[in-house]
């Protein structure tokens, strides 16, 4: 039977990790892996999470099953940070825990499909797994250009997608800190997007994977909240992998906003059935730790301070890159206006290979770089290498 299978292309990022590990050069730079790093190159466990895990060690009495909805204390504790002062919007929003943001996106798209959505409009480039999940579900991807050449978001393209979508179609947007470009919509653009959703009746699916890494927890949620205030229904996928440093613990949540609270029971009976068939129930540990943090004022303050320090470091890197002006033909100034872990450089695959082979600088073939891989110590080398390759 196994001889019927066709080989699949290896994951490009995993291959890059292996190449970096095998490189003996001491001054090599890893800009590929999508995790936050300190100036020392570490991806530490948050101190607030460590404290919460100690509480779990001391007080958790059972590892018995939860249901497919997961830890509802975790799900509900997140809601004020995602949705604001009225986190249920009058009882119209409900959620469930998922295995990371990927599980939340998968569940959002699977439930949309079950509700009749066949085609999803999405700005490209995007996180590669968006397209892979759509393909696995057999849903059609309708791409539009997310960004313009000047490093700003393409408002006309997203408005055309929203206004042109049919009744069996949805539009998928990043809430903030766009992966892979770092290019977010402005407040005025979000207002126009919200109005387009309201007038067209198109269904929004919002992927919030990096809240807090741009300008702050409140600021990064503002655009998404503008859309939710304007529409009757929406799906929201949220990840704690980045803003709580819970990468390998797979901590996410999926939320449904319904036109009226009575529709939520039916929606979640379907969502629970999809989750039960896919992963039965989500892993508990990471979500339980986040719940403990968010229920304790001191731990919450500690977490927010740690998140602010991450954000400040990435902003410093962006400002330093922008202050260099250009590197060869590449204008680095737009990076200061962008947000989060990622930006994309207009380099060819051949130039990416040259940076890797001649300078020990590792990045995705698309030109995406992880801002957090740069430090005051390696920034001059990076800029000089970029100028040499893209001169």
Dist. CA 18–CA 41, nearest whole Å: 17
Cβ partners under 8 Å of residue 314, min gap 6: 36, 213, 340, 341, 371, 372
Tell me which residue of 103, 143, 105, 65 sits closest to 278, measured CA to CA. 103
Collapsing DSSP to helix, strand or coil, 25 comes out as coil
H/E stretch holding 269: helix 262-278
Tell me which residue of 352, 342, 349, 390 sits closest to 174, measured CA to CA. 342
342-344 and 368-370 as β-strands: parallel, antiparallel, unpaired? Answer: antiparallel
Collapsing DSSP to helix, strand or coil, 12 comes out as helix
Tell me which residue of 286, 257, 256 sits closest to 272, measured CA to CA. 256
Dist. CA 302–CA 299, nearest whole Å: 5
Contact 329, 354 (CB under 8 A): no
Contact 81, 271 (CB under 8 A): no
* Residue carrying structure tokens 């006309």: 156
Q: Is 190 a known active-site residue?
A: no
Torsion angle, alpha carbons of 27, 32, 36, 37, to 10? -10
What pLDDT, on a 0 to 100 scale, did the predictor assign at position 12?
Answer: 82
- The DSSP code sequence of 190-240 is HHHHHHHHHHH-PEEEEEES-TTSSS-HHHHHHHHHHHHHH-S-EEEEEE-
What pLDDT, on a 0 to 100 scale, did the predictor assign at position 11?
Answer: 80
Which ranges in 279-344 belong to alpha helices (H)? 285-294, 297-323
pLDDT in tens, the chain (391 residues): 999 999 988 888 888 989 999 999 999 999 998 899 999 989 999 999 999 999 999 999 999 999 999 999 999 999 999 999 999 999 999 999 999 999 999 999 999 999 999 999 999 999 999 999 999 999 999 999 999 989 999 999 999 999 999 999 999 999 999 999 999 999 999 999 999 999 999 999 999 999 999 999 999 999 999 999 999 999 999 999 999 999 999 999 999 999 999 999 999 999 999 999 999 999 999 999 999 999 999 999 999 999 999 999 999 999 999 999 999 999 999 999 999 999 999 999 999 999 999 999 999 999 999 999 999 999 999 999 999 999 8
Contact 337, 182 (CB under 8 A): no
Q: Which among 127, 220, 241, 303 is annotated as catalytic?
A: 127
Dist. CA 141–CA 41, nearest whole Å: 37
Q: Is 279 a known active-site residue?
A: no
What pLDDT, on a 0 to 100 scale, did the predictor assign at position 13?
Answer: 81
Dist. CA 341–CA 37, nearest whole Å: 10
Q: Which among 30, 71, 184, 207 is annotated as catalytic?
A: 207
Q: Is 303 a known active-site residue?
A: no
What pLDDT, on a 0 to 100 scale, did the predictor assign at position 10?
Answer: 80
* Residue carrying structure tokens 């922008």: 322
Please give the DSSP secondary-structure letter assigned to residue 153.
B
203-208 and 169-174 as β-strands: parallel, antiparallel, unpaired? Answer: parallel
> Could you tell me the two tokens for 258?
């319904």
Dist. CA 359–CA 353, nearest whole Å: 10
Dist. CA 344–CA 319, nearest whole Å: 15
Strand residues in the chain grouped as ranges (E):
29-30, 93-99, 119-124, 140-145, 169-174, 203-208, 234-239, 251-257, 326-327, 330-331, 342-344, 361-362, 368-370
Contact 105, 126 (CB under 8 A): no
Q: Which among 242, 249, 284, 303 is annotated as catalytic?
A: 242
User: How deeply is 315 buried, as exposed, middle or buried, from its count of CB atoms within 10 A (0-12, 13-18, 19+)?
Assistant: middle
What pLDDT, on a 0 to 100 scale, did the predictor assign at position 15?
Answer: 86
* Residue carrying structure tokens 């040259």: 354
Contact 363, 390 (CB under 8 A): no
Please give the DSSP secondary-structure letter assigned to residue 357.
H
Dist. CA 277–CA 275, nearest whole Å: 5
């Amino acid at each position: 039977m196994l001889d019927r299978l066709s080989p699949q292309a290896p994951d490009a990022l995993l291959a890059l990790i292996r190449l970096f590990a095998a490189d003996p050069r001491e001054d090599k730079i890893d800009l590929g892996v999508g995790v936050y790093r300190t100036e020392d190159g570490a991806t530490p466990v948050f101190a607030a999470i460590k404290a919460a895990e100690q509480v779990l060690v001391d007080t958790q009495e059972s590892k018995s099953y939860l249901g497919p909805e997961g830890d509802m204390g975790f799900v509900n504790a997140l809601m004020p940070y995602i949705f604001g002062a009225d986190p249920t919007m009058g009882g119209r929003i409900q959620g469930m825990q998922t295995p990371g943001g990927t599980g939340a996106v998968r569940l959002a798209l699977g439930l949309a499909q079950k509700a009749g959505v066949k085609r999803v409009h999405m700005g490209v480039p995007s996180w590669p797994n968006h397209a892979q999940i759509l393909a696995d579900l057999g849903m059609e991807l309708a791409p539009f250009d997310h960004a313009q050449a000047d490093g700003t978001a393409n408002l006309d393209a997203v408005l055309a997608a929203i206004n042109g979508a049919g009744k069996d179609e949805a539009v998928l947007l990043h809430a903030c800190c766009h992966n892979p470009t770092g290019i977010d919509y402005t407040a005025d653009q979000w207002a126009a997007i919200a109005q387009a959703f309201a007038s067209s009746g198109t269904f929004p699916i919002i992927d919030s994977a990096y809240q807090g890494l741009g300008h702050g927890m409140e600021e990064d949620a503002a655009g998404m909240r503008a859309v939710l205030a304007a529409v009757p229904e929406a799906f929201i996928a949220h990840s704690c992998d980045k803003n709580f440093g819970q990468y390998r613990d797979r901590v996410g949540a999926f939320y449904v906003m319904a036109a009226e609270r009575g529709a939520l029971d039916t929606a979640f009976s379907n969502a629970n059935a999809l989750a039960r068939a896919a992963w039965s129930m989500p892993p508990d540990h990471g979500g339980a730790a986040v719940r403990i943090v968010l229920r304790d004022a001191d731990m919450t303050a500690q977490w927010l301070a740690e998140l602010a320090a991450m954000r400040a470091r990435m902003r410093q890197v962006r400002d330093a890159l922008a202050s260099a002006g250009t590197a060869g033909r590449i204008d680095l100034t737009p990076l200061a206006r962008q947000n989060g872990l990622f930006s994309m450089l207009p380099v060819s695959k051949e130039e990416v290979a040259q940076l890797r082979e001649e300078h020990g600088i590792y990045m995705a073939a698309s030109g995406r770089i992880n801002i957090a891989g740069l430090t005051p110590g390696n920034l001059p080398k990076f800029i000089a290498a970029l100028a040499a390759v893209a001169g």
